[in-house]
Amino acid sequence: MNDLSQNIIGYDLWHLKLPVTSRRDHGIGSVEGACEVVMLRLTSEDGTQGFGEASPWSVFTGTPEATFAALDRYIRPLVLGARVGDRSAIMARAACAVAHCTEAKAALETALLDLAGRISGIPVWSLLGGRCRSTTPLSCSIANPDFSQDIDLLARLREDGVRIVKLKTGFKDHAFDIMRLEYLAQNCPEFSVRVDYNQGLSIEEAPTRVRDVARFNPDFIEQPVRAHHFGMMAKLRQMTDVPLLADESVFGPEDMERAARESICDGVSVKIMKSGGLTRGQTVARIAAAHGLTAYGGDMFEAGLAHLAGTHMIAATPEITLGCEFYQASYFLKEDILEEPFRIQNGQVCVPETPGLGGRPEMAKLNHYAVAKAVSE
């Protein structure tokens, strides 16, 4: 039986703790020591396997424990025994079965797409509407509280052909942000620079600080204030000529519609972990484009499997024009979980051509880094 009418008969989970090379500070919180992801494996009757990754961050989307419980207790019964080809029906049932938990739903849709793609012998991007690009420019984040370590990272990025960096701001003082912007302007003219506050500014300090940072003419300034401060986002957008991007303010299509209606941004960060899957991420980008707004492919603290899912989504979504930030597997994790490394060439993420996601986790690594699992064998 080699078709999409077969049933899903295996459903396995791993909660992983993956060691990282450095501390990273963002406006809303820090990551130190390790980042945590949840891996889902689906198996069909003919033994084909599809994988999906959930990459939660407790201060941003949710906790790994909640993600694991959503997948293990609430979503599992909807998936076991369902037909591989009934992806839309399964996703609709998952949306009703558990509120929020967008990372769990992203992992589920990724695994269903990977499974269907492997059974059909086609890449995931072909299941999402077909390919519009074969590479995507990579942006790497500068977020180390010890800037000397980031100066070393910049040298490595330059050598690797990466030409976009995103400076994480608003986690220390304003002088530290201005010092790093001046350094980049003077020493790294070949990089285009983006700025991301991750909600780090209060509404009192935001207007002056955003105006100061706009003098450096970055590509855009992302999410200066808290997610729910739509009014201040709209005010800041009016105040400066530098494009303002929404990240934490926009999770799914419903938020995007409101963001466009209230004119809070010039563009949006599309993340499958926020939108609750790849197709909902595509919808966010299309609503943005319909309102004349741009989009880029953001991510959370992810391993390579989530990067692959995001790469397929961007490959099939012409409205995402500003590149991607799938850098963690190559520049942040001590060791990624994929069998073959996530491919970046000359600063461009390469879109896989092989069936499914075009990559899978190494089983030994899943078992090595697991702090909890629900595996049937």
Closest residue to Mg ion, judged by C-beta, is: 247
Q: Is 325 in the site for Mg ion (CB under 5 A)?
A: no
By beta-carbon proximity to Mg ion, the closer residue of 103 and 222 is: 222
By beta-carbon proximity to Mg ion, the closer residue of 113 and 324 is: 324
Q: Least distance in Å: CB of 167 to Mg ion?
A: 11
Cα–Cα distance between 40 and 55 in angstroms, integer? 11
Q: Which residue stretch of 45-53, 142-150, 189-197, 202-210 sits at the interface with Mg ion (rule: CB under 5 A)?
A: 189-197
By beta-carbon proximity to Mg ion, the closer residue of 103 and 247 is: 247
- One character per residue 344-373, x = contact with Mg ion (rule: CB under 5 A): ------------------------------
Cα–Cα distance between 306 and 56 in angstroms, integer? 11
Q: Least distance in Å: CB of 223 to Mg ion?
A: 6
Q: Which residue stretch of 33-41, 193-201, 324-332, 353-361 sits at the interface with Mg ion (rule: CB under 5 A)?
A: 193-201
Q: Which residue stretch of 82-90, 120-128, 196-204, 254-262 sits at the interface with Mg ion (rule: CB under 5 A)?
A: 196-204
Q: Residue 163: phi, psi to the nearest 5?
A: -130, 10
Identify which of 251, 289, 298, 317 has the alpha carbon closest to the alpha carbon of residue 105.
251
Which residue in 72, 103, 196, 336 binds Mg ion (CB under 5 A)? 196
3-state SS string for 111-137: HHHHHHHHHHCCEHHHHCCCCCCCEEE
How many residues of this chain interact with Mg ion, rule: CB under 5 A? 3
Return the structure tokens found at 43. 């198996």
By beta-carbon proximity to Mg ion, the closer residue of 123 and 298 is: 298
Q: Least distance in Å: CB of 147 to Mg ion?
A: 19
By beta-carbon proximity to Mg ion, the closer residue of 170 and 277 is: 170
**In the range 47-66, which residues lie near Mg ion by CB under 5 A?**
none
Q: Least distance in Å: CB of 51 to Mg ion?
A: 26
Q: Least distance in Å: CB of 57 to Mg ion?
A: 11
Q: Least distance in Å: CB of 112 to Mg ion?
A: 27
Q: Least distance in Å: CB of 101 to Mg ion?
A: 20
The CB-side HSE value for 172 (13 A sphere, CA atoms) comes to 15
By beta-carbon proximity to Mg ion, the closer residue of 243 and 358 is: 243
The CB-side HSE value for 318 (13 A sphere, CA atoms) comes to 5
By beta-carbon proximity to Mg ion, the closer residue of 109 and 247 is: 247
Cα–Cα distance between 59 and 139 in angstroms, integer? 22
**In the range 236-295, which residues lie near Mg ion by CB under 5 A?**
247
Q: Least distance in Å: CB of 141 to Mg ion?
A: 9
Give the CA dihedral 125, 127, 129, 131, nearest 10 degrees: 20
Identify which of 15, 16, 34 has the alpha carbon closest to the alpha carbon of residue 24.
34
By beta-carbon proximity to Mg ion, the closer residue of 109 and 196 is: 196
Contacts 24+ apart (CB under 8 A), 224-229: 224/170, 224/197, 224/199, 224/200, 225/197, 225/199, 225/201, 226/199, 227/199, 229/203
What totals of helices (H) and strands (E) does the chain contain, helices first? Answer: 15, 16
Q: Least distance in Å: CB of 80 to Mg ion?
A: 36
Q: Least distance in Å: CB of 139 to Mg ion?
A: 11
Return the structure tokens found at 272. 């499958």
172: exposed, middle or buried (Cβ count in 10 Å: 0-12, 13-18, 19+) = middle
By beta-carbon proximity to Mg ion, the closer residue of 111 and 210 is: 210
Cα–Cα distance between 53 and 272 in angstroms, integer? 10
Cα–Cα distance between 310 and 117 in angstroms, integer? 15
Cα–Cα distance between 243 and 264 in angstroms, integer? 11
- One character per residue 199-238, x = contact with Mg ion (rule: CB under 5 A): -----------------------x----------------
How many CB atoms are closer than 10 A to CB 353?
11
The site for Mg ion (CB under 5 A) is made up of 196, 222, 247
